[in-house]
Amino acid sequence: MAFLQWKTEYSVANEQMDKQHQVLVEMINKMHDAMKMGKGGSEAEKIVSEMIEYSAMHFAAEEKLMTQLNFKEINQHIVEHKAFMTKANEFQKQINSGSFTLSMEIANFLKDWLTNHILVNDMAYAKVIKKQ
């Protein structure tokens, strides 16, 4: 079984967002697999930078959608996205400096963060979509 499995309960009632969340789930699985196989160095750097790039693109798309929805809690949501990017950049710095390899700590952090963020924060704007 995959480390993290996308479930229908994660759906935010927007096809584009669901697809992007599924890509993030796959990226976390890839990271977990690389970690399990003991891959460090350039492979770890590549996976983490891909994840950061994709997350930035996804957050921008999500923030645009929330603006279109006139979502009231958008500012708090943006704070959450920024906190994630800060943490991910920290991981990347540590990995690039060789002081850190892909670890269970990173894989677990990403898994917990994404599932919690989708189920709590993203579901708040999903409610607005469902009302329309």
Using CB under 5 A as the criterion, which residues of the chain lie in contact with Fe ion when the complex forms? 62, 122
Whole-angstrom distance, CA of residue 105 vs CA of residue 116: 16
Nearer to Fe ion, 31 or 122 (CB): 122
Amino acid letter at 57? M
Nearer to Fe ion, 21 or 32 (CB): 21
* N residues, the chain: 132
* Closest distance of CB 28 from Fe ion, Å: 15
Nearer to Fe ion, 95 or 122 (CB): 122
* Closest distance of CB 59 from Fe ion, Å: 6
* Closest distance of CB 96 from Fe ion, Å: 26
* Closest distance of CB 53 from Fe ion, Å: 16
Query: 70: burial class by Cβ within 10 Å (0-12, 13-18, 19+)?
Result: exposed
Helices and strands in the chain: count of H runs, count of E runs:
5, 0
Nearer to Fe ion, 42 or 89 (CB): 89
Among candidates 24, 41, 59, which has minimal Cα distance to 100?
41
